[in-house]
C-alpha cells in the first residue's frame, strides 16, 4: 500500500497559527488598576488586573519545525485529511504548513485580510 502525502517525515517547514494579538490595556494604561476621582483604587474592569487586553486573533509564522510523523483520516464522502506531528509534539494540518517563510507569510497576510 502506497500512501502519498504532500510532505515527508524529515521535511523542515514553516507552520502558521492564529494567535491572540493585544497590548497594554487602554483603560488602565497597563497598570492593572484604575483610580477613581475620589481616590479609590480598583482592579481594572477591562483587563481584570492582567495589564493587557486581547484585540482578537491574527495569523503569524511560527518557528520552523521538522516533521516526525503524520496521520491520515477520511470521511464518508472519501475526503482525506492529513495532519503532521513535529519534533516538539505539536500537530499541524497540511494547509497550515509551508516550505518557505515567504510562502507562510504570504498566507498569513491573506488570512489576516479576510478576518
Positive or negative: CA dihedral 93, 96, 101, 102: positive
pLDDT score recorded for residue 81:
83
7 exposure class (CB count in 10 Å sphere: 0-12, 13-18, 19+) = middle
Do the Cβ atoms of 96 and 86 come closer than 8 Å?
no
pTM of the prediction? 0.68
Whose cell is 511560527? That residue is 62
Tens of pLDDT along the chain (115 residues) come to: 677 889 999 999 999 999 888 889 989 999 999 999 999 999 999 889 999 887 788 999 999 999 999 998 777 777 678 899 999 999 999 999 999 999 999 999 999 998 6
Amino acid at each position: 500500500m502506497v500512501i502519498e502525502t504532500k510532505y515527508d517525515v524529515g521535511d523542515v517547514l514553516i507552520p502558521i497559527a492564529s494567535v491572540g494579538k493585544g497590548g497594554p490595556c487602554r483603560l488602565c494604561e497597563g497598570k492593572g488598576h484604575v483610580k477613581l476621582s475620589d481616590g479609590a483604587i480598583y482592579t481594572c474592569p477591562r483587563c481584570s488586573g492582567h495589564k493587557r487586553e486581547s484585540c482578537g486573533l491574527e495569523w503569524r509564522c511560527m518557528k520552523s519545525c521538522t516533521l516526525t510523523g503524520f496521520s491520515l483520516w477520511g470521511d464518508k464522502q472519501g475526503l482525506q485529511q492529513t495532519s503532521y506531528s513535529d519534533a516538539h509534539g505539536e500537530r499541524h494540518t497540511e494547509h497550515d504548513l509551508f516550505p518557505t517563510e515567504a510562502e507562510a507569510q504570504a498566507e498569513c497576510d491573506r488570512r489576516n485580510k479576510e478576518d
